[in-house]
């Protein structure tokens, strides 16, 4: 099927585009290369030597015999171009990764808050409006985040998107299904909760078929497809803004730094391997909701861990030390997290666990490219609010 992958040059977008192409779909990447430009701004580079998009696409064509299209277009700003592209390509599905996706980056300053809000919300609205405008029946698949849920209620398993509640009425308690109440922890996460309201409205008003995937923290770097040629290699971010907690631990271990745990490290997070991410995207694309169905929401994660347990796992493999620092984020030090994620399992997903996959990250990525690391970029330097910044300053 013909598929547009918006943000198809990014960390999740690129391997997803390759995987969909490998499965025989006809893929066109739409990307304004904003993620590479943010690297320029932050004066940091992917640890892995990612190649320019044209080199990537040529390499894919060489090793697979398949071609992927590319259009440099700013989703959220260049509306007519997006609409024209949809009208001419007539895709059956659009996968939407075209959002700024780092919580710390979204909290750095007013400029970064404003960019994240402006970029993410206009991008999502433009895609939906263009689908309606085109008059075509296009399935939209969007990358959401587990962060839309906040951190749940004690004793409760976070459901897949919808919550059954009881409401007091004049006729007694009534059952009702609602979108899970949002409690975002950063500007970035907030935009994803606002995206849900776009989806709810366009689905209700225009019957757009939509799948929203609430993803956990992605770990791992390579997929079956990105391994096929050195030029296809995927991003590995280790900096304080874009590096996930796991990547920063891996990097710290590789360059003989202690692993820095924020607060007590009792924060529980949901995880998924990048190989499972691309498989989930494929499953979502190939299993669309029916016309007239509500927004399909699936939790795209496979296991949960506490941050301090992750640190211990990596310390055990690498011999690194663990140290605790004050937390720049405005969040609880300890939280439980129980998440329903049966839908993808029922569609056939066979998860890769941290226990089995972590060693490859240590040897094939972190140690192999350690000489490309800029050590000054590892610490997290975005503070969530005035209090968290003051706490850090007092500690110094």
| Member of 44, 141, 187, 210 binding its own copies (CB under 8 A) | 187
Q: Is 342 in the site for its own copies (CB under 8 A)?
A: no
Site for its own copies in 102-121 (CB under 8 A): 110, 113-114, 117-118, 121
Minimal distance in Å, beta carbon 222 to its own copies? 35
DSSP letters for 68-129: -EEE---TTT-HHHHHHHHHHH--SEEEE--S---HHHHTS-HHHHHHHHHHHHHHHHHHHH
- Contact flag: residue 396 with its own copies (CB under 8 A): no
- Residue 66 is a catalytic residue: no
Catalytic residue among 108, 149, 180, 192: 192
Any catalytic annotation for residue 105?
Answer: no
Name 266's Cβ contacts closer than 8 Å, sequence gap at least 6: 306, 307, 308, 333, 334, 335
Report d(CA 351, CA 362) in Å as an integer: 19
Residue nearer to its own copies on the CB measure, 122 or 326: 122
Among 33, 87, 173, 323, binds its own copies (CB under 8 A): 173
DSSP letter at 233 equals P
Nearer to its own copies, 173 or 224 (CB): 173
Is 188 assigned a catalytic role? yes
Distance CA 275, CA 268 (A): 22
Of the candidate residues 32, 129, 226, 247, the single one contacting its own copies (CB under 8 A): 129
Residue 110 neighbours by CB under 8 Å, 6+ apart: none
Binding status of residue 346 toward its own copies by CB under 8 A: no
Q: Is 393 in the site for its own copies (CB under 8 A)?
A: no
Is residue 335 near its own copies by the rule CB under 8 A?
no
Considering 151, 188, 202, 242, which one is annotated as catalytic? 188
Task: Note the helical H segments in the chain.
Answer: 13-22, 34-42, 53-64, 79-89, 103-106, 110-134, 187-206, 245-254, 274-286, 307-318, 342-346, 354-360, 386-395
* CA dihedral of 88, 93, 97, 98, whole degrees rounded to 10: 30
Binding-site ranges for its own copies (CB under 8 A): 79, 83, 110, 113-114, 117-118, 121-122, 125-126, 129-130, 132-133, 135, 153-156, 163-171, 173-174, 176, 178-179, 181-184, 187, 190, 193-194, 197-198, 200-201, 204-206, 330, 384-386
What positions carry a catalytic annotation?
Answer: 145, 188, 192
């Amino acid at each position: 099927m013909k598929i547009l992958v918006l943000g198809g040059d990014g960390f999740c977008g690129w391997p997803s585009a390759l995987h969909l192409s490998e499965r025989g779909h006809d893929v066109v990447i739409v990307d304004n290369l904003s993620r590479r430009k943010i690297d320029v701004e932050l004066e940091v580079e992917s640890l892995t030597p990612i190649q320019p998009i044209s080199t990537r696409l040529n390499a894919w064509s060489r090793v697979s015999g398949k071609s992927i299209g590319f259009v440099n277009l700013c989703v959220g700003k260049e509306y007519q171009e997006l609409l024209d592209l949809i009208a001419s390509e007539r895709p059956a599905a659009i996968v939407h990764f075209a959002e700024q996706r780092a919580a710390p980056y979204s909290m750095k300053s007013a400029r970064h808050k404003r960019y994240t809000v402006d970029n993410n919300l206009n991008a999502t609205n433009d895609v939906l409006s263009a689908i309606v405008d085109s008059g075509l029946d296009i399935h939209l698949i969007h990358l959401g985040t587990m962060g839309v849920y906040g951190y749940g209620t004690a004793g409760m398993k976070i459901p897949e998107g919808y919550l059954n509640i009881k409401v007091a009425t004049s006729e007694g308690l009534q059952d009702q299904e609602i979108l899970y109440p949002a409690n975002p922890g950063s500007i970035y996460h907030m935009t994803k909760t606002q995206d849900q309201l776009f989806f709810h409205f366009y689905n209700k008003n225009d019957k757009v078929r939509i799948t929203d995937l609430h993803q956990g923290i992605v770990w791992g770097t390579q997929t079956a497809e990105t391994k096929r040629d050195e030029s296809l290699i995927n991003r590995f971010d280790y900096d304080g803004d874009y590096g996930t907690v796991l990547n920063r631990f891996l990097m710290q271990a590789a360059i003989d730094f202690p692993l820095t745990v924020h607060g007590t490290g009792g924060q529980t997070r949901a995880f998924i391997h990048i190989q499972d991410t691309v498989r989930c995207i494929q499953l979502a694309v190939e299993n669309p909701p029916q016309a007239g169905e509500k927004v399909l929401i699936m939790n795209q994660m496979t296991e949960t861990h506490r941050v301090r347990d992750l640190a211990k796992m990596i310390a055990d493999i690498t011999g690194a030390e663990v140290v605790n620092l004050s937390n720049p984020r405005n969040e609880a030090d300890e939280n439980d997290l129980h998440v329903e994620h049966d839908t993808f399992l029922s569609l056939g997903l066979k998860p890769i666990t941290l226990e089995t996959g972590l060693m490859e990250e240590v040897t094939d990525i972190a140690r192999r490219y350690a000489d490309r690391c800029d050590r000054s970029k590892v610490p997290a330097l975005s503070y969530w609010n005035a209090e968290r910044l003051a706490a850090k300053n007092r500690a110094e």
